[in-house]
Amino acid sequence: MSTTSFTFTLDQINDIAAKVLAASTQKIFLFYGEMGAGKTTLIKALCQELGVTGQTSSPTFSIVNEYAGTKGRIFHFDFYRLKNQTEALDMGYEEYFYSGDYCFIEWPEKIPDLRPAHYTEVHIVAKADGEREITLNNI
């Protein structure tokens, strides 16, 4: 397991997105952080970095959004509203997670038994001064 950390402000989000992608050894990213920490904002910047030119948004109600980027397909999951892991099973999560495409997963704590063997954990902490701290763990 390798660990990398960055501290940044939101006006540096595009530079951080490039650094996150460069530091990751996987295409599956699990995002951890409190509500409002900046998970969706970072995912939007990652999508832009991967060549998505259209609108991106949080899939809070649809659970998953698909985007086409210049570097392939991207699936953005928001599992916040899941009541249990069975809901992820019912939606066929395996087809997405094992597709070889990028998968950005918010609220992975809702699916602890369904995580793939290899992924990059992204922990985001909002600090009192408005900065964010990101810690990446390649697993």
pLDDT at 60 over 80: no
Handedness of CA 55, 115, 108, 5 (dihedral sign): negative
For the chain, what are the domain ranges? 2-138
Distance CA 23, CA 85 (A): 29
28-58: pLDDT as tens digits = 999 999 998 999 999 999 999 999 988 888 7
**Rounded average pLDDT over 55-79:** 89
Determine the pLDDT at residue 1: 73
**CA dist 124 → 98, 107, 133 (Å):** 25, 12, 6
Please determine, for residue 2, whether its predicted confidence score (pLDDT) is greater than 90.
no
CATH number among 2.60.40.10, 3.40.30.10, 3.40.50.300, 3.30.2000.10, domain 2-138: 3.40.50.300
> Per residue in 90-122, pLDDT tens?
989 999 999 999 999 999 999 999 999 999 999
